[in-house]
Amino acid sequence: MQQSPLAATLSVVPAVPVAGMALILGIDRFMSECRALTNLVGNACATIVVARWDNALEKDVLDEVLNKPKSS
């Protein structure tokens, strides 16, 4: 498992109590998941914006894919 930058920073600072560090690391793990979701949504939106800007967006295909019912 890769060590987060927050964990590396906190390990150098001696004034942070262990209980406080555990609380911060627990929150950082949750926030890491939120950052990943934000990156995914941002990349998807940017892809559509750039495709539309370059006149490469096939709106019919986009509508078909987005309106397709879920497969079971």
Task: Report, in this order, helix, strand and coil percent for the chain, each rounded to 5.
Answer: 70, 0, 30
Does residue 10 form part of some domain? yes
From the centroid of its chain, how far is CA 37? 3
Q: What are the tens digits of pLDDT across the range 44-62?
A: 999 999 999 999 999 999 9
In the prediction, which pLDDT does 59 show? 94
Q: Does residue 2 register a pLDDT over 70?
A: no
Q: What are the tens digits of pLDDT across the range 21-36?
A: 778 778 888 888 888 9
Q: Does residue 71 register a pLDDT over 90?
A: no
Q: How many domains does the chain have?
A: 1
Domain residue limits at 28: 5-66
Does residue 71 form part of some domain? no
Structure tokens belonging to residue 46: 């940017």
Provide the pLDDT confidence category of residue 37 given band limits of 50, 70 and 90: very high
Please tell me what DSSP assigns to residue 58.
-
Does residue 42 form part of some domain? yes
